[in-house]
Amino acid sequence: MAKNDLGKNLNKGEYILLKSKDDLTLEHNKNTPLYKLTGFSGTAGEAIQDYSGKITLFVDPRYHIQAEAQTKGKNVEVVKLDMKTSLINALKAVLKPGSTLYVPSKSTKISTFKTFKKELKSIEILPYDTEDEPENSAKIETVPIEICGITYDKKIEKLKRAIKNHNILLTSLEDVSYILNLRCYDTPNTSVIRAKMLVTPKEVYVFSDCTLPKLQKIKVLPLKSMEKILKKANSEILIDENNITLNDFNLVKNPVALKKNPVAKMASIKNRAEIEHYKEAFKMLDEALYAFREKIKPGLSEFELKEIFEKELTTHGALGTSFKTILAVGENSSSIHYSSYSKDRKIRPGEILLLDCGGYYEGGYATDITRVFVCPPENKTKNSSKNPTDARQNISKKVKEIYTAVLKAQLNVYFGDFSETKPMDDLARKILKPYEKQGFSFPHSLGHGVGIPVHQAPPTLTPNPKLNCRLQNNMVFTIEPGLYNSTQNKGDFGIRLENTVYYDKKAGKKVSLSRFPYEEALIDKTILTKKELKWLQAWQEGKI
Protein backbone atom coordinates (compact mmCIF):
# COMPACT_ATOMS: atom_id res chain seq x y z
CA MET A 1 0.00 0.00 0.00
CA ALA A 2 1.72 3.18 -1.17
CA LYS A 3 1.89 6.36 0.85
CA ASN A 4 -0.18 8.30 -1.71
CA ASP A 5 -2.95 5.70 -1.63
CA LEU A 6 -3.77 5.98 2.05
CA GLY A 7 -7.34 4.93 2.64
CA LYS A 8 -8.19 4.42 -1.05
CA ASN A 9 -7.72 0.65 -1.33
CA LEU A 10 -9.41 -0.32 1.91
CA ASN A 11 -12.34 -2.70 2.14
CA LYS A 12 -15.13 -2.56 4.68
CA GLY A 13 -13.78 -3.48 8.11
CA GLU A 14 -10.25 -2.32 7.23
CA TYR A 15 -8.60 0.73 8.76
CA ILE A 16 -5.28 2.49 8.35
CA LEU A 17 -3.36 4.18 11.16
CA LEU A 18 -2.22 7.76 10.50
CA LYS A 19 0.71 9.12 12.49
CA SER A 20 1.85 12.63 13.38
CA LYS A 21 5.48 11.86 12.47
CA ASP A 22 7.29 11.17 9.24
CA ASP A 23 9.31 8.15 8.20
CA LEU A 24 12.41 9.21 10.13
CA THR A 25 10.22 9.96 13.18
CA LEU A 26 10.80 13.72 13.00
CA GLU A 27 8.00 15.63 14.67
CA HIS A 28 6.45 18.92 13.51
CA ASN A 29 6.36 17.80 9.88
CA LYS A 30 3.49 19.00 7.69
CA ASN A 31 4.24 16.29 5.13
CA THR A 32 2.86 13.59 7.43
CA PRO A 33 -0.32 11.78 6.35
CA LEU A 34 -2.12 12.88 9.51
CA TYR A 35 -1.67 16.58 8.77
CA LYS A 36 -2.40 16.28 5.06
CA LEU A 37 -5.67 14.42 5.62
CA THR A 38 -7.00 16.17 8.73
CA GLY A 39 -5.33 19.57 9.01
CA PHE A 40 -4.45 18.77 12.63
CA SER A 41 -1.00 20.22 13.30
CA GLY A 42 -0.46 18.99 16.86
CA THR A 43 2.79 17.16 17.52
CA ALA A 44 1.05 14.24 19.24
CA GLY A 45 -1.96 12.39 17.91
CA GLU A 46 -3.06 9.33 15.99
CA ALA A 47 -5.99 8.68 13.71
CA ILE A 48 -7.60 5.82 11.83
CA GLN A 49 -9.22 6.07 8.42
CA ASP A 50 -11.85 3.60 7.19
CA TYR A 51 -12.80 2.45 3.69
CA SER A 52 -15.25 5.33 3.23
CA GLY A 53 -12.59 7.94 3.98
CA LYS A 54 -13.95 8.83 7.42
CA ILE A 55 -11.19 9.63 9.90
CA THR A 56 -11.33 9.20 13.67
CA LEU A 57 -8.71 11.36 15.39
CA PHE A 58 -7.56 10.54 18.93
CA VAL A 59 -6.01 13.36 20.96
CA ASP A 60 -5.02 13.86 24.59
CA PRO A 61 -6.27 16.84 26.68
CA ARG A 62 -3.55 19.17 25.42
CA TYR A 63 -5.10 19.12 21.94
CA HIS A 64 -8.88 18.83 22.51
CA ILE A 65 -9.79 22.35 21.43
CA GLN A 66 -7.10 22.57 18.74
CA ALA A 67 -8.16 19.30 17.08
CA GLU A 68 -11.82 20.27 17.06
CA ALA A 69 -11.06 23.68 15.53
CA GLN A 70 -8.61 22.44 12.88
CA THR A 71 -10.81 19.57 11.67
CA LYS A 72 -14.11 21.49 11.62
CA GLY A 73 -16.06 20.90 8.44
CA LYS A 74 -14.03 17.83 7.49
CA ASN A 75 -14.95 14.17 7.58
CA VAL A 76 -13.17 13.80 10.91
CA GLU A 77 -14.50 12.67 14.27
CA VAL A 78 -12.40 13.87 17.21
CA VAL A 79 -12.17 11.48 20.16
CA LYS A 80 -11.02 13.41 23.22
CA LEU A 81 -8.98 11.17 25.49
CA ASP A 82 -8.53 11.98 29.17
CA MET A 83 -5.29 11.46 31.08
CA LYS A 84 -6.34 7.94 32.10
CA THR A 85 -7.53 6.65 28.72
CA SER A 86 -4.93 5.14 26.42
CA LEU A 87 -5.08 4.97 22.65
CA ILE A 88 -5.44 1.20 22.94
CA ASN A 89 -8.62 1.48 25.03
CA ALA A 90 -9.99 4.08 22.64
CA LEU A 91 -9.31 1.81 19.67
CA LYS A 92 -11.09 -1.06 21.41
CA ALA A 93 -14.21 1.07 21.54
CA VAL A 94 -14.05 1.91 17.83
CA LEU A 95 -12.68 -1.19 16.06
CA LYS A 96 -15.04 -4.13 15.83
CA PRO A 97 -13.79 -7.72 16.29
CA GLY A 98 -12.54 -9.11 13.00
CA SER A 99 -11.38 -5.72 11.73
CA THR A 100 -7.97 -5.17 10.15
CA LEU A 101 -5.70 -2.31 11.16
CA TYR A 102 -2.77 -1.37 8.91
CA VAL A 103 0.06 0.44 10.71
CA PRO A 104 2.94 2.35 9.06
CA SER A 105 6.09 0.27 9.60
CA LYS A 106 8.52 3.19 9.36
CA SER A 107 6.88 5.41 11.97
CA THR A 108 5.33 2.90 14.38
CA LYS A 109 7.57 1.91 17.26
CA ILE A 110 8.00 -1.81 17.83
CA SER A 111 6.79 -1.35 21.42
CA THR A 112 3.55 0.13 20.07
CA PHE A 113 3.18 -2.65 17.51
CA LYS A 114 3.64 -5.31 20.19
CA THR A 115 1.10 -3.58 22.43
CA PHE A 116 -1.40 -3.51 19.58
CA LYS A 117 -0.85 -7.22 18.98
CA LYS A 118 -1.25 -8.03 22.66
CA GLU A 119 -4.20 -5.81 23.52
CA LEU A 120 -6.17 -5.87 20.26
CA LYS A 121 -6.37 -9.65 20.01
CA SER A 122 -9.58 -9.66 17.98
CA ILE A 123 -8.09 -7.24 15.44
CA GLU A 124 -5.65 -8.24 12.70
CA ILE A 125 -2.65 -5.89 12.88
CA LEU A 126 -0.67 -5.65 9.64
CA PRO A 127 2.24 -3.37 8.66
CA TYR A 128 2.32 -1.28 5.51
CA ASP A 129 5.28 0.48 3.93
CA THR A 130 5.53 4.18 3.19
CA GLU A 131 7.80 6.03 0.82
CA ASP A 132 10.90 7.63 2.24
CA GLU A 133 10.94 11.40 2.22
CA PRO A 134 13.81 12.68 0.04
CA GLU A 135 16.74 14.12 1.98
CA ASN A 136 17.46 17.76 1.37
CA SER A 137 20.93 19.26 1.39
CA ALA A 138 20.86 19.81 5.12
CA LYS A 139 23.57 21.89 6.73
CA ILE A 140 25.15 19.96 9.61
CA GLU A 141 26.95 21.83 12.37
CA THR A 142 29.35 20.61 15.05
CA VAL A 143 28.71 21.64 18.66
CA PRO A 144 31.79 23.38 20.09
CA ILE A 145 33.55 21.44 22.85
CA GLU A 146 33.13 24.36 25.25
CA ILE A 147 29.36 23.83 24.96
CA CYS A 148 29.00 20.04 24.80
CA GLY A 149 31.84 19.45 27.27
CA ILE A 150 32.87 16.03 25.94
CA THR A 151 34.03 14.80 22.53
CA TYR A 152 32.02 12.29 20.49
CA ASP A 153 34.72 9.62 20.71
CA LYS A 154 34.67 9.79 24.52
CA LYS A 155 30.86 9.55 24.46
CA ILE A 156 31.14 6.43 22.30
CA GLU A 157 33.65 4.90 24.72
CA LYS A 158 31.34 5.71 27.61
CA LEU A 159 28.47 4.07 25.76
CA LYS A 160 30.54 0.95 25.08
CA ARG A 161 31.35 0.65 28.78
CA ALA A 162 27.67 1.04 29.68
CA ILE A 163 26.65 -1.82 27.37
CA LYS A 164 29.69 -3.93 28.26
CA ASN A 165 30.96 -3.95 24.66
CA HIS A 166 27.81 -5.44 23.19
CA ASN A 167 26.44 -4.23 19.84
CA ILE A 168 23.84 -1.46 19.96
CA LEU A 169 21.67 0.09 17.25
CA LEU A 170 20.67 3.71 17.82
CA THR A 171 17.67 4.79 15.76
CA SER A 172 16.56 7.80 17.81
CA LEU A 173 17.66 10.94 15.97
CA GLU A 174 18.11 12.67 19.33
CA ASP A 175 20.42 9.90 20.55
CA VAL A 176 22.61 10.02 17.44
CA SER A 177 22.75 13.83 17.44
CA TYR A 178 23.77 13.79 21.10
CA ILE A 179 26.48 11.15 20.73
CA LEU A 180 28.04 12.76 17.64
CA ASN A 181 27.74 16.38 18.87
CA LEU A 182 26.07 17.29 15.59
CA ARG A 183 23.05 19.52 14.94
CA CYS A 184 20.92 20.68 12.02
CA TYR A 185 18.57 23.69 12.05
CA ASP A 186 17.10 23.32 8.55
CA THR A 187 13.87 21.73 9.78
CA PRO A 188 11.78 24.07 11.96
CA ASN A 189 11.50 23.34 15.68
CA THR A 190 14.22 20.72 15.89
CA SER A 191 18.02 20.53 15.90
CA VAL A 192 18.52 16.81 15.25
CA ILE A 193 20.34 15.33 12.29
CA ARG A 194 18.78 12.58 10.19
CA ALA A 195 21.06 9.69 11.01
CA LYS A 196 21.12 6.27 12.67
CA MET A 197 24.05 4.50 14.23
CA LEU A 198 25.42 1.00 14.90
CA VAL A 199 28.09 0.64 17.57
CA THR A 200 30.02 -2.62 17.82
CA PRO A 201 33.13 -3.43 19.84
CA LYS A 202 35.29 -3.09 16.71
CA GLU A 203 33.40 -0.75 14.37
CA VAL A 204 31.12 2.27 14.54
CA TYR A 205 28.75 2.94 11.63
CA VAL A 206 26.69 6.06 10.99
CA PHE A 207 23.95 5.83 8.39
CA SER A 208 22.83 9.12 6.87
CA ASP A 209 22.10 10.77 3.55
CA CYS A 210 23.32 14.09 4.91
CA THR A 211 26.83 15.36 4.29
CA LEU A 212 28.47 14.92 7.69
CA PRO A 213 31.79 16.36 8.85
CA LYS A 214 34.72 13.95 8.96
CA LEU A 215 34.35 11.62 11.94
CA GLN A 216 37.52 9.82 13.03
CA LYS A 217 37.25 6.00 13.32
CA ILE A 218 33.62 6.05 12.15
CA LYS A 219 32.30 4.61 8.89
CA VAL A 220 29.68 6.96 7.42
CA LEU A 221 27.36 5.23 4.95
CA PRO A 222 24.06 6.06 3.16
CA LEU A 223 20.87 5.16 5.03
CA LYS A 224 20.06 2.38 2.57
CA SER A 225 23.30 0.64 3.62
CA MET A 226 21.95 -0.01 7.10
CA GLU A 227 19.88 -2.97 5.93
CA LYS A 228 22.91 -4.62 4.27
CA ILE A 229 25.15 -4.14 7.33
CA LEU A 230 22.49 -5.46 9.73
CA LYS A 231 21.87 -8.54 7.58
CA LYS A 232 25.54 -9.46 7.97
CA ALA A 233 25.41 -9.15 11.77
CA ASN A 234 24.70 -12.53 13.32
CA SER A 235 25.39 -11.59 16.94
CA GLU A 236 22.92 -9.97 19.30
CA ILE A 237 22.19 -6.27 18.89
CA LEU A 238 20.77 -4.17 21.70
CA ILE A 239 17.78 -2.01 20.75
CA ASP A 240 15.46 0.45 22.50
CA GLU A 241 11.95 -0.81 21.78
CA ASN A 242 10.47 2.58 22.64
CA ASN A 243 12.50 4.21 19.85
CA ILE A 244 13.08 1.67 17.10
CA THR A 245 10.44 1.45 14.38
CA LEU A 246 8.84 -1.79 13.25
CA ASN A 247 10.70 -1.50 9.93
CA ASP A 248 14.13 -1.15 11.56
CA PHE A 249 13.35 -3.82 14.13
CA ASN A 250 12.67 -6.32 11.34
CA LEU A 251 16.14 -5.67 9.91
CA VAL A 252 17.84 -6.95 13.07
CA LYS A 253 18.44 -10.72 13.17
CA ASN A 254 18.98 -11.07 16.91
CA PRO A 255 17.47 -8.05 18.71
CA VAL A 256 17.77 -7.78 22.49
CA ALA A 257 15.57 -5.21 24.19
CA LEU A 258 17.26 -2.79 26.56
CA LYS A 259 15.64 -2.25 29.93
CA LYS A 260 16.87 1.35 29.90
CA ASN A 261 18.35 3.40 27.08
CA PRO A 262 21.96 4.23 28.14
CA VAL A 263 22.18 7.19 25.73
CA ALA A 264 19.00 8.74 27.12
CA LYS A 265 20.48 8.47 30.60
CA MET A 266 23.77 10.04 29.46
CA ALA A 267 21.94 12.89 27.72
CA SER A 268 19.64 13.58 30.68
CA ILE A 269 22.53 14.27 33.07
CA LYS A 270 24.16 17.43 31.81
CA ASN A 271 27.83 18.18 32.44
CA ARG A 272 29.17 21.50 33.72
CA ALA A 273 29.72 22.92 30.23
CA GLU A 274 26.17 22.10 29.17
CA ILE A 275 24.71 23.72 32.30
CA GLU A 276 26.77 26.86 31.74
CA HIS A 277 25.59 26.98 28.13
CA TYR A 278 22.00 26.57 29.31
CA LYS A 279 22.40 29.54 31.65
CA GLU A 280 23.57 31.72 28.77
CA ALA A 281 20.82 30.46 26.48
CA PHE A 282 18.11 31.27 29.02
CA LYS A 283 19.57 34.74 29.56
CA MET A 284 19.07 35.37 25.84
CA LEU A 285 15.56 33.93 25.98
CA ASP A 286 14.71 36.21 28.91
CA GLU A 287 16.09 39.21 26.97
CA ALA A 288 13.76 38.33 24.08
CA LEU A 289 10.82 38.19 26.50
CA TYR A 290 11.65 41.60 27.98
CA ALA A 291 11.87 43.11 24.51
CA PHE A 292 8.62 41.44 23.45
CA ARG A 293 6.77 42.64 26.52
CA GLU A 294 7.65 46.24 25.63
CA LYS A 295 5.93 45.80 22.26
CA ILE A 296 2.60 44.37 23.44
CA LYS A 297 -0.09 46.95 22.73
CA PRO A 298 -3.82 47.02 21.99
CA GLY A 299 -4.88 46.29 18.43
CA LEU A 300 -2.14 43.78 17.60
CA SER A 301 -3.39 40.44 16.29
CA GLU A 302 -2.22 37.06 17.54
CA PHE A 303 -0.35 36.59 14.27
CA GLU A 304 1.39 39.95 14.59
CA LEU A 305 2.32 39.23 18.20
CA LYS A 306 3.77 35.85 17.23
CA GLU A 307 5.82 37.47 14.47
CA ILE A 308 7.07 40.16 16.86
CA PHE A 309 8.13 37.60 19.46
CA GLU A 310 9.94 35.30 17.03
CA LYS A 311 11.79 38.28 15.56
CA GLU A 312 12.93 39.23 19.08
CA LEU A 313 13.93 35.61 19.69
CA THR A 314 16.33 35.57 16.74
CA THR A 315 17.46 39.16 17.37
CA HIS A 316 18.61 38.03 20.80
CA GLY A 317 20.68 35.09 19.58
CA ALA A 318 18.37 32.18 18.80
CA LEU A 319 18.99 30.12 15.65
CA GLY A 320 15.32 29.17 15.58
CA THR A 321 12.41 28.04 17.71
CA SER A 322 12.79 24.83 19.74
CA PHE A 323 9.10 24.03 19.21
CA LYS A 324 6.14 25.68 17.54
CA THR A 325 5.44 28.86 19.49
CA ILE A 326 2.21 28.79 21.47
CA LEU A 327 0.69 32.27 21.60
CA ALA A 328 -2.93 32.76 22.60
CA VAL A 329 -5.00 35.83 23.46
CA GLY A 330 -7.97 35.83 25.82
CA GLU A 331 -10.29 32.86 25.38
CA ASN A 332 -7.80 31.09 23.09
CA SER A 333 -5.47 30.57 26.08
CA SER A 334 -7.85 27.83 27.25
CA SER A 335 -6.52 25.70 24.37
CA ILE A 336 -3.36 24.23 25.90
CA HIS A 337 -1.29 24.01 22.70
CA TYR A 338 -3.02 26.77 20.73
CA SER A 339 -0.97 27.89 17.72
CA SER A 340 -3.48 29.10 15.13
CA TYR A 341 -2.34 32.76 15.39
CA SER A 342 -5.51 34.47 14.19
CA LYS A 343 -5.02 37.61 12.11
CA ASP A 344 -8.46 38.80 13.21
CA ARG A 345 -8.27 38.21 16.97
CA LYS A 346 -6.72 41.41 18.28
CA ILE A 347 -5.67 41.96 21.86
CA ARG A 348 -7.51 44.54 23.96
CA PRO A 349 -6.43 46.48 27.06
CA GLY A 350 -6.50 44.29 30.17
CA GLU A 351 -6.64 41.03 28.22
CA ILE A 352 -4.16 38.23 28.88
CA LEU A 353 -1.69 36.74 26.43
CA LEU A 354 -0.25 33.27 27.08
CA LEU A 355 3.16 32.67 25.50
CA ASP A 356 4.82 29.24 25.65
CA CYS A 357 8.08 29.53 23.77
CA GLY A 358 11.68 28.50 23.37
CA GLY A 359 14.64 28.70 21.08
CA TYR A 360 17.72 26.82 19.93
CA TYR A 361 21.05 28.56 20.36
CA GLU A 362 24.56 27.60 19.25
CA GLY A 363 24.61 24.33 21.16
CA GLY A 364 21.31 23.04 19.78
CA TYR A 365 19.80 22.41 23.21
CA ALA A 366 16.13 23.33 23.57
CA THR A 367 14.91 26.10 25.89
CA ASP A 368 11.35 26.36 27.19
CA ILE A 369 9.36 28.88 29.24
CA THR A 370 5.71 29.96 29.60
CA ARG A 371 4.49 33.34 30.81
CA VAL A 372 1.15 35.14 30.84
CA PHE A 373 1.20 38.86 30.05
CA VAL A 374 -1.44 41.58 30.36
CA CYS A 375 -2.08 44.01 27.55
CA PRO A 376 -1.47 47.59 28.80
CA PRO A 377 -3.90 50.46 28.22
CA GLU A 378 -3.89 52.53 25.06
CA ASN A 379 -2.00 55.39 26.70
CA LYS A 380 0.87 53.27 28.10
CA THR A 381 3.85 55.47 28.73
CA LYS A 382 7.31 54.59 27.50
CA ASN A 383 8.48 53.26 30.87
CA SER A 384 5.18 51.84 32.14
CA SER A 385 6.10 48.22 31.43
CA LYS A 386 8.91 48.58 33.93
CA ASN A 387 6.24 49.33 36.53
CA PRO A 388 4.14 46.15 36.61
CA THR A 389 1.43 47.88 38.68
CA ASP A 390 0.74 50.51 36.00
CA ALA A 391 -2.87 51.34 35.23
CA ARG A 392 -3.73 48.14 33.44
CA GLN A 393 -7.46 48.04 33.16
CA ASN A 394 -10.24 45.50 32.84
CA ILE A 395 -8.33 42.68 34.53
CA SER A 396 -10.86 40.10 35.69
CA LYS A 397 -10.79 39.11 39.36
CA LYS A 398 -11.20 35.50 38.26
CA VAL A 399 -8.14 35.75 36.01
CA LYS A 400 -6.12 37.08 38.95
CA GLU A 401 -7.40 34.32 41.23
CA ILE A 402 -6.51 31.55 38.78
CA TYR A 403 -3.15 33.11 37.90
CA THR A 404 -2.27 33.28 41.59
CA ALA A 405 -3.37 29.68 42.18
CA VAL A 406 -1.06 28.48 39.41
CA LEU A 407 1.70 30.69 40.78
CA LYS A 408 1.14 29.16 44.23
CA ALA A 409 1.65 25.68 42.74
CA GLN A 410 4.75 26.84 40.87
CA LEU A 411 6.36 28.41 43.96
CA ASN A 412 5.64 25.46 46.26
CA VAL A 413 7.03 22.91 43.83
CA TYR A 414 10.11 24.95 42.98
CA PHE A 415 11.08 25.94 46.51
CA GLY A 416 9.94 22.63 48.03
CA ASP A 417 12.43 19.95 49.03
CA PHE A 418 12.04 17.10 46.54
CA SER A 419 14.36 14.39 45.30
CA GLU A 420 11.79 12.53 43.16
CA THR A 421 9.39 13.61 40.43
CA LYS A 422 5.96 12.19 41.30
CA PRO A 423 5.69 13.97 44.70
CA MET A 424 6.14 17.28 42.85
CA ASP A 425 3.28 16.48 40.50
CA ASP A 426 1.18 15.31 43.46
CA LEU A 427 1.69 18.59 45.31
CA ALA A 428 0.77 20.73 42.30
CA ARG A 429 -2.44 18.73 41.78
CA LYS A 430 -3.35 19.03 45.45
CA ILE A 431 -3.02 22.83 45.27
CA LEU A 432 -4.98 23.12 42.01
CA LYS A 433 -7.70 20.50 42.65
CA PRO A 434 -10.12 22.87 44.48
CA TYR A 435 -10.53 24.84 41.24
CA GLU A 436 -12.14 21.88 39.51
CA LYS A 437 -15.42 22.95 41.16
CA GLN A 438 -15.13 26.22 39.26
CA GLY A 439 -14.75 24.40 35.94
CA PHE A 440 -10.97 24.52 35.69
CA SER A 441 -8.71 21.51 35.08
CA PHE A 442 -5.02 20.62 35.10
CA PRO A 443 -5.03 18.01 32.30
CA HIS A 444 -1.32 17.55 31.60
CA SER A 445 1.85 16.49 33.36
CA LEU A 446 3.65 18.93 35.63
CA GLY A 447 6.85 18.80 33.61
CA HIS A 448 9.31 17.02 31.36
CA GLY A 449 13.01 16.65 30.82
CA VAL A 450 14.69 19.02 28.39
CA GLY A 451 17.68 18.38 26.15
CA ILE A 452 18.15 18.34 22.39
CA PRO A 453 14.41 17.77 22.03
CA VAL A 454 12.22 20.05 24.13
CA HIS A 455 10.64 16.90 25.58
CA GLN A 456 13.33 14.50 26.78
CA ALA A 457 12.98 11.60 29.17
CA PRO A 458 14.05 11.12 31.86
CA PRO A 459 12.76 12.78 33.93
CA THR A 460 8.99 13.09 33.53
CA LEU A 461 6.87 14.82 36.18
CA THR A 462 3.59 12.95 35.96
CA PRO A 463 0.95 11.32 38.19
CA ASN A 464 1.87 7.92 36.72
CA PRO A 465 3.78 6.09 39.49
CA LYS A 466 5.59 3.96 36.87
CA LEU A 467 7.33 7.10 35.62
CA ASN A 468 8.48 8.32 39.02
CA CYS A 469 12.16 9.21 38.81
CA ARG A 470 14.81 10.00 41.39
CA LEU A 471 16.47 13.25 40.41
CA GLN A 472 20.10 13.04 39.35
CA ASN A 473 22.63 15.85 39.51
CA ASN A 474 22.25 18.33 36.62
CA MET A 475 19.03 16.86 35.26
CA VAL A 476 17.25 19.65 33.38
CA PHE A 477 13.45 19.69 33.43
CA THR A 478 10.40 21.95 33.42
CA ILE A 479 7.87 22.78 36.10
CA GLU A 480 4.66 23.94 34.42
CA PRO A 481 1.39 23.84 36.40
CA GLY A 482 -1.70 25.17 34.66
CA LEU A 483 -5.45 25.68 34.95
CA TYR A 484 -7.84 25.91 31.99
CA ASN A 485 -11.58 26.18 31.49
CA SER A 486 -12.65 25.08 28.06
CA THR A 487 -16.38 25.52 27.66
CA GLN A 488 -15.54 27.43 24.45
CA ASN A 489 -17.37 30.49 25.70
CA LYS A 490 -16.12 34.04 25.28
CA GLY A 491 -14.97 34.33 28.89
CA ASP A 492 -12.83 31.19 28.87
CA PHE A 493 -9.12 31.40 29.56
CA GLY A 494 -6.13 29.36 30.66
CA ILE A 495 -3.09 30.06 32.78
CA ARG A 496 0.24 28.20 32.63
CA LEU A 497 3.49 29.24 34.26
CA GLU A 498 6.56 27.28 33.22
CA ASN A 499 10.19 27.44 34.27
CA THR A 500 13.06 25.23 33.19
CA VAL A 501 15.30 24.21 36.10
CA TYR A 502 18.16 21.86 36.89
CA TYR A 503 18.77 19.79 39.99
CA ASP A 504 21.84 20.59 42.08
CA LYS A 505 22.37 17.41 44.08
CA LYS A 506 25.15 18.85 46.26
CA ALA A 507 22.97 21.78 47.33
CA GLY A 508 19.91 19.51 47.46
CA LYS A 509 17.73 21.92 45.50
CA LYS A 510 16.43 22.95 42.12
CA VAL A 511 18.05 25.91 40.40
CA SER A 512 16.01 27.82 37.85
CA LEU A 513 17.45 28.55 34.44
CA SER A 514 14.39 30.69 33.70
CA ARG A 515 14.64 34.03 35.52
CA PHE A 516 11.89 36.08 33.91
CA PRO A 517 9.57 37.66 36.52
CA TYR A 518 5.89 36.93 37.06
CA GLU A 519 3.20 39.47 36.10
CA GLU A 520 2.59 41.57 39.22
CA ALA A 521 -0.66 42.96 37.83
CA LEU A 522 -2.13 39.43 37.82
CA ILE A 523 -1.14 38.42 41.36
CA ASP A 524 -3.67 38.50 44.19
CA LYS A 525 -1.29 38.56 47.12
CA THR A 526 -4.11 38.12 49.65
CA ILE A 527 -4.31 34.42 48.81
CA LEU A 528 -0.59 33.79 49.22
CA THR A 529 0.87 32.70 52.56
CA LYS A 530 3.73 34.59 54.22
CA LYS A 531 6.15 31.91 53.05
CA GLU A 532 4.83 32.12 49.49
CA LEU A 533 5.10 35.92 49.53
CA LYS A 534 8.71 35.59 50.67
CA TRP A 535 9.42 33.14 47.83
CA LEU A 536 7.71 35.44 45.34
CA GLN A 537 9.74 38.44 46.46
CA ALA A 538 12.97 36.45 46.12
CA TRP A 539 11.97 35.41 42.59
CA GLN A 540 10.92 38.88 41.46
CA GLU A 541 14.16 40.36 42.78
CA GLY A 542 16.26 37.68 41.09
CA LYS A 543 17.51 36.26 44.40
CA ILE A 544 16.96 32.64 43.48
Backbone angles phi, psi at 523, to 5 degrees: -95, 125
DSSP per-residue letters across 304-367: HHHHHHHHHHHHTT-SEESS--EEEEGGGGGSTT-----SS-B--TT-EEEEEE-EE-TT--B-
pLDDT of the residue at 5: 45
* The one-letter amino acid at 124: E
Query: Measured at the alpha carbon of residue 521, what is the angle toward residues 519 and 525, in degrees to the nearest 5?
Result: 95
Task: Determine the pLDDT at residue 2.
Answer: 35
- Which of 505, 495, 455 has its CA nearest to residue 478? 455
Distance, CA of 475 to CA of 473 (rounded, Å) = 6
Which residues of the chain have a pLDDT value below 50?
Answer: 1-5, 7, 25, 27-28, 381, 383-386, 388-389, 391
pLDDT at 23: 52
Q: What's the rounded Cα separation, in Å, for the pair 209 and 184?
A: 13
Confidence (pLDDT) at 409: 98
The three-state DSSP-derived secondary structure of 272-318 is: HHHHHHHHHHHHHHHHHHHHHHHHCCCCCEHHHHHHHHHHHHHHCCC
Q: Which residues lie closer than 8 Å to 298 by C-beta, 6 or more apart? A: 346, 347, 348, 349, 375, 376, 377, 378
Q: Burial code of 498-530, b = ≥16 C-beta within 10 A, e = fewer?
A: bbbbbbeeeeeebebbbbbbbbebbbeeeebee
Q: How far apart are CA 194 and CA 138, in angstroms?
A: 9
Tell me what pLDDT residue 242 has: 93
**Can you tell me whether residue 60 is helix, strand or coil?**
coil
Supply the pLDDT for residue 543: 87
